[in-house]
Chains A and B, each alone.
Chain A
Amino acid sequence: MRHHAGGLNRTWLAVVGLVLLLVGAAGIVVGAGLLTPLGRAVGLQLTRPAPDDKVAGRATASAFASTGVVTLVVVVGVVLALLGLAWLVAQVPRTGSARPLRLEDDPARGLTRLEAGALTDAVEAQIQALDGVQSASAVLRGDARGPDLTVKVTAGDRTDVRRLLQAIEAGPVRDLGEALDTQVRRLGVQVEVDTGRRRTHRITL
């Protein structure tokens, strides 16, 4: 029903994972004393850092004493924090529902604005009135010339799902198209099943 940041997540997880993998592998190569032989194998003279060198020597300590490096740490910290925050915010699913539909071609002759919520409320009410439906929610995307409707419908476990889907398309979705005087460009229906009311529809003798 909603937009998730799947592509973004996978891309950045791959980037962060690759960086961590390379850093970890580099640490193992240096720590295990494999840097020099590996460098020689590819034609490079790599002798530093050696396994008995300290992780951070005097040069590193003096670098972190300079104001320039400390300022750089602030900048890098701000960038990391903003990236993390933006990535976290992107996890919130977005509905992306349609903006108010404009139902007149020529604005000079007047314009009718129709909230997408008014249409989806009507669609939901019609679907909930269908046999076997326990609840329904709808999202309208696109515009008045190409509406794109997504519905989540929860049915009982005795419901004929095929018949229900046909009834949704033949009833509420057809009515939506007629109300907008166009064909619904895309219909998506996600079916869920709830067994909550099952016991109330059963008689034990």
Chain B
Amino acid sequence: MSAAARSPRLRRRPSRTVPASIVAVLLLAIGVLAVVAAVGRLVDGRWASQVSAPASAVAGVTWGSAAVLAAAAVVAVLGLVLLVAALKPGGHKAAALQVEGAGVVADREYVVSTRAVARLAVARADDVDGVDQVSASASGRRVHVDVTTSSQQRDVVRSQVLGAVSEGLTGLGLSPRPRVTVAVRTREV
């Protein structure tokens, strides 16, 4: 069986599609412009003015000029950014679930997206009495819930939301279990 026939892991690191697409488009553009300019030179016998004018301007600059130093610094920083994008693993967009199977498969992988975890946390928090508005964000190891309440018993609301969300996520079977934090803001009535 070919490698392409195997399923990719569902819990994976970011594939850096955005920077890769940008660099690919730039490479394509540079290549096409170089070909168009060079073919024009071969056909007409001279470089087009759109090429020769900027080339002459660049050629007249000395190595020690501020423009060259600035351009070199920009290129170096761009290179550093691309290197960091390539080497930094990045966070997972999904969390693993530990669920007992029915024994009909040899290997299983269950995941839930971090966006889904946040939505489940919002749903559990929204069930708590006294919660007016709720939003949540989740990463692989942490779930943070922001609650707005008009109740005067702010600490009670916080502890009830924390309990409800923690219980809901424990029942989900997340592995590792994320740390739940709750921030409560009181709304003046």
A interface, CB within 8 angstroms of B: 1-6, 8-14, 16-28, 30-33, 49-57, 60-61, 64, 67, 70-71, 73-74, 76-85, 87-88, 91, 94, 96, 98, 139, 141-143, 146, 148, 150, 157-158, 160-162, 165-166, 169-170, 173-174, 177, 183-195, 198
Contacts and interface: CB of A to CB of B under 8 A. Distances in A.
Given A4-B17, A193-B120, A55 B68 contact: yes
Interface in B147-177: 171-173
Contact of B106 (A16, A31, A52, A185): A185
Contacts, number: 312
B24 A88 contact: yes
19 contacts: A6-B15, A9-B19, A12-B20, A13-B16, A17-B80, A20-B76, A24-B76, A51-B63, A54-B61, A54-B63, A55-B63, A88-B25, A139-B7, A174-B104, A183-B104, A186-B107, A191-B110, A191-B111, A195-B119
Interface residues of B, number: 89
B132 to A, nearest CB: 14
B34 A80 contact: yes
A198 to B, nearest CB: 7
Contact of B20 (A9, A71, A96, A166): A9
Contacts of A70: 38, 41-42
